[in-house]
Amino acid sequence: MFNPHGFPSRMTIGMQIEAMAGKAGALHGTFQDSTPFRFHEDQRAVDYFGEQLREAGYNYYGNEPLYSGLSGLEIHADIFIGNIYYQRLRHMVSDKSQVRSTGAINSLTRQPIKGRKVGGGIRFGEMERDSLLAHGTSFLLQDRLFKCSDEHEAHVCRRCGSILAPHATKPNDVGGKSA
């Protein structure tokens, strides 16, 4: 089952014509040739296979009624059903995923290191920042760019404004002894 917007965006109109040809061939028990070189403007593929579908008692475009499995009522939508050979790619999302919650970071940028093999994570760059700004997600930006990567505590002199060196002991320690 495919989203109808997936056909034009992936430029696979030939797949829909192949599905019409497969359905017409299965109904008539014949082999079909749906290559793009067989048809032209005067004899369109949709007309050729549409007539075969109509002769078999189906809709001209291959649409069929579909019924709800819960209520048994007909779904009021044009639903195209056809036979097609669809090859699964061996690239799977789970193999390419590199999401993590903690791990090694680059000391300069404080962003995750690159590379899935070394346990790296997704980096958050300028383009990602700009797209989140455009969508008004300021709290998400503050979390990703400040809390998770650049948040740092430093002591600042009130008189001159310079950053002071961090303490070697805990603030609650007095003279090296716990209070």
Average confidence (pLDDT) over 19-28:
91
Tell whether 12 and 76 lie within a shared domain: yes
Tell whether 56 and 109 lie within a shared domain: no
Q: Which residue has the tokens 């290559």?
A: 35
Task: Please indicate, yes or no, if residue 173 is contained in any of the structural domains.
Answer: no
Task: Please indicate, yes or no, if residue 175 is contained in any of the structural domains.
Answer: no
What's the CATH code of the domain at 136?
A: 3.90.1800.10
Task: Please indicate, yes or no, if residue 171 is contained in any of the structural domains.
Answer: no
Averaged confidence pLDDT in the chain? 80
- Tens digit of pLDDT for each residue in 47-88? 999 999 999 999 898 888 888 889 999 988 878 888 777 777
Tell whether 11 and 76 lie within a shared domain: yes
**pTM for this structure?**
0.46
- Tell me which of 25 and 163 has the higher pLDDT: 25
Tell whether 62 and 114 lie within a shared domain: no
% of the chain residues with pLDDT over 90 = 15
pLDDT reading at 179 higher than 50: no
Outline where DSSP puts E strands in 48-105: 63-67, 74-80
Task: Please indicate, yes or no, if residue 138 is contained in any of the structural domains.
Answer: yes
Tell whether 11 and 74 lie within a shared domain: yes
Task: Please indicate, yes or no, if residue 107 is contained in any of the structural domains.
Answer: yes
The structural domain count of the chain equals 2
Q: Which of 7-16, 95-104, 169-178 has the lowest mean pLDDT?
A: 169-178
Task: Please indicate, yes or no, if residue 1 is contained in any of the structural domains.
Answer: no
Predicted local confidence at residue 53, as pLDDT: 93
Tell whether 114 and 66 lie within a shared domain: no
Contact 82, 22 (CB under 8 A): yes
Tell whether 102 and 66 lie within a shared domain: no
Please give the residue range of the domain that contains residue 17. 6-80
* 37 CB burial (10 A radius; 0-12, 13-18, 19+): exposed
Task: Please indicate, yes or no, if residue 39 is contained in any of the structural domains.
Answer: yes
Task: Please indicate, yes or no, if residue 75 is contained in any of the structural domains.
Answer: yes
Average confidence (pLDDT) over 161-171:
65
- Final residue in a domain of this structure, among 80, 106, 127: 80
Greatest Cα pair distance in the chain: 97
Predicted local confidence at residue 178, as pLDDT: 47
